[in-house]
């Protein structure tokens, strides 16, 4: 067992580790702290050799876990394992770590479908949620629909075809810096929020998305009278974007990104493939879940794993192959499609008749739960 030093934090440990691991590289030594997570270049694999700005290492402070999302690495360990891997090697001090980790009983105690909602409702947590206008006023935010033509936010909206999305006008805000979009995880009926995501615009170092939850609101004094138990349940649900608005009596499509989910009817975003397991265990079943992850290596790997378990997943390769046959003059553009937003924007640029209704009708033809279709993912 480690003898943890009170005066030496895990943030200090990571800072010193990166200096030892990446001497002479200021970019590799940078840390992005979002409150409950530290994002930095992975010290196990060294991260990207071509682009030092990439940060695929993630240390989750509240759950005491570390995960690298570099496809060639994929290291996953608890906080003690992370510290022990480098403390002796680089002669580093042992950081102080809280004696007890938060107990996320909601996600681990029961496998009963719908248990997340049942616990959430039984705690009367909804009445403790902040209203959207309260947060907008607190952070001096304006709806993205009011972004001036020529601004970075306006150009981002137009370039991604976000102006065609009715829900985008309800949940998307920006501030005077004009360099990010705030996406609120909103309950449309009550105008209360579970949290929000910050989507950084343009060329940025570190992650494009930063997730903000009630644990952070509490630190700034925004939340008053919310118990720790309720806060944990709210923050757990905040991992699933749009979760309070979907109809669970119908098929629910699961995407990765928040913006992607707005293009799909009756959809939840997991804010990353790594969080899909808990969603599928607690809220969905093989009978009503459709998996629509990104058209990249990580998304395809997870889709293959889930189709083997009997889930219905999106067949990206077949989808793009059929589009190329339909629009042969746009073959190169179609083969560059990387996610749902990109798919809609590309089709809209090729065929002016493309709208949300036609797009959803089209993509719904390309789901399968048969292992025989793995080659088409």
Q: What is the DSSP string of 261-328?
A: HTTSSSEEE-SSGGGHHHHHHHT--TTTEEE---SSHHHHHHHHHHHHTT-EEE-HHHHHHHHHHH-G
Same domain, 252 and 233: no
Is residue 43's pLDDT more than 50?
yes
Residue 191 lies in a domain: yes
In this prediction, residue 109 carries a pLDDT of 33
In this prediction, residue 117 carries a pLDDT of 59
Same domain, 16 and 129: no
In this prediction, residue 5 carries a pLDDT of 40
Question: Average model confidence (pLDDT) for the chain?
Answer: 85
In this prediction, residue 196 carries a pLDDT of 92
Same domain, 329 and 263: yes
Residue 71 lies in a domain: yes
Choice between 58 and 282, residue whose per-residue pLDDT is larger: 58
In this prediction, residue 303 carries a pLDDT of 93
User: 325-375 pLDDT, tens per residue?
Assistant: 999 999 999 999 999 999 999 999 999 999 999 999 999 999 999 989 999
Quick one: pLDDT band at residue 107, thresholds 50, 70, 90?
Answer: very low
In this prediction, residue 355 carries a pLDDT of 95
Is residue 124's pLDDT more than 90?
no
In this prediction, residue 290 carries a pLDDT of 95
Residue 198 lies in a domain: yes
- Domain span at residue 282 reads 248-377
Distance (Å, whole) CA 332 – CA 325:
12
In this prediction, residue 103 carries a pLDDT of 37
Quick one: pLDDT band at residue 285, thresholds 50, 70, 90?
Answer: confident
Same domain, 48 and 137: no
Lowest-pLDDT range of 48-52, 66-70, 73-77, 373-377: 48-52
Residue 116 lies in a domain: yes
Same domain, 260 and 153: no
Same domain, 317 and 344: yes
Same domain, 72 and 116: no
**What distances in angstroms separate CA 152 from CA 168, 177, 179, 204, 285, one per listed residue?**
17, 10, 7, 14, 40
| 8 A C-beta contact, residue 337 and residue 295 | yes
Is residue 104's pLDDT more than 80?
no
> Within 10 A of 213 (CB to CB), how many other CB atoms are there?
23
Lowest-pLDDT range of 133-137, 216-220, 304-308: 216-220
Same domain, 189 and 265: no
Same domain, 74 and 15: yes
In this prediction, residue 81 carries a pLDDT of 83
Same domain, 155 and 206: yes
Residue 308 lies in a domain: yes
Most confident of the following: 5-14, 94-103, 226-235: 226-235
Residue 94 lies in a domain: no
Lowest-pLDDT range of 26-35, 276-285, 309-318, 339-348: 276-285
Which is nearest to 18 in space by CA: 51, 54, 44, 48?
44
Residue 257 lies in a domain: yes
Same domain, 128 and 192: yes
Look up tokens 């719908």; give the residue.
114
Contacts of 126 (CB under 8 A, 6+ apart): 120, 187, 190, 192
Residue 99 lies in a domain: no
Domain count, the chain: 3
Quick one: pLDDT band at residue 306, thresholds 50, 70, 90?
Answer: very high
Quick one: pLDDT band at residue 110, thresholds 50, 70, 90?
Answer: very low
End-to-end CA, the chain: 45
Same domain, 112 and 233: yes
Which is nearest to 114 in space by CA: 280, 307, 275?
280
Choice between 223 and 303, residue whose per-residue pLDDT is larger: 303
Mean pLDDT value of segment 131-146: 91
């Amino acid at each position: 067992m480690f003898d943890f030093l009170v005066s030496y934090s895990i943030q200090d440990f990571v800072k010193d580790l990166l200096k030892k691991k990446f001497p002479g590289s200021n970019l590799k030594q940078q840390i992005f702290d979002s409150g409950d997570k530290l994002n930095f270049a992975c010290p196990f694999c060294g991260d990207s050799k071509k682009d030092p700005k990439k940060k695929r290492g993630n240390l989750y402070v509240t759950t005491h876990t570390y995960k690298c999302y570099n496809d060639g690495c994929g290291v996953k360990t608890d906080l003690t394992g992370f510290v022990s891997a480098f403390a002796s090697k680089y002669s580093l001090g042992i950081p102080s770590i809280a004696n007890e980790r938060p107990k996320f009983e909601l996600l681990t105690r029961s496998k009963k479908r719908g248990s997340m909602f049942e616990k959430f409702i039984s705690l009367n947590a909804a009445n403790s949620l902040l209203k959207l206008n309260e947060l907008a006023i607190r952070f001096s935010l304006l709806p993205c629909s009011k972004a001036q033509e020529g601004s970075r936010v306006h150009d981002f909206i137009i370039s991604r075809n976000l102006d065609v999305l009715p829900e985008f006008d309800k949940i998307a805000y920006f501030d005077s810096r004009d360099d990010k979009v705030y996406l609120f995880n909103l309950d449309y009926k009550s105008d209360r929020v579970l949290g929000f995501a910050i989507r950084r615009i343009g060329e940025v170092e570190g992650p494009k998305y930063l997730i903000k939850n009630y644990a952070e609101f509490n630190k700034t004094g925004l939340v008053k009278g919310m118990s720790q138990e309720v806060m944990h349940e709210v923050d757990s649900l905040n991992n699933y974007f749009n979760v309070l608005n979907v109809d669970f009596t119908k098929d629910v499509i699961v995407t990765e990104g928040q913006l992607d989910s707005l293009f799909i009817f009756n959809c939840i975003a997991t804010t990353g493939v790594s969080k899909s397991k808990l969603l599928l265990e607690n809220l969905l079943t093989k009978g009503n879940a459709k998996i629509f992850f990104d058209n990249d290596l990580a998304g395809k790997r997870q889709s293959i794993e889930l189709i083997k378990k009997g889930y219905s997943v999106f067949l990206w390769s077949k989808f793009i192959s059929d589009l190329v046959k339909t629009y042969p003059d746009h073959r190169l553009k179609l083969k560059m499609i990387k996610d749902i937003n990109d798919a809609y924007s590309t089709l809209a640029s090729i065929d002016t008749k493309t709208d949300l209704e036609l797009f959803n009708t089209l993509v719904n033809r390309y789901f399968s739960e048969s292992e025989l279709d793995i080659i088409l993912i």
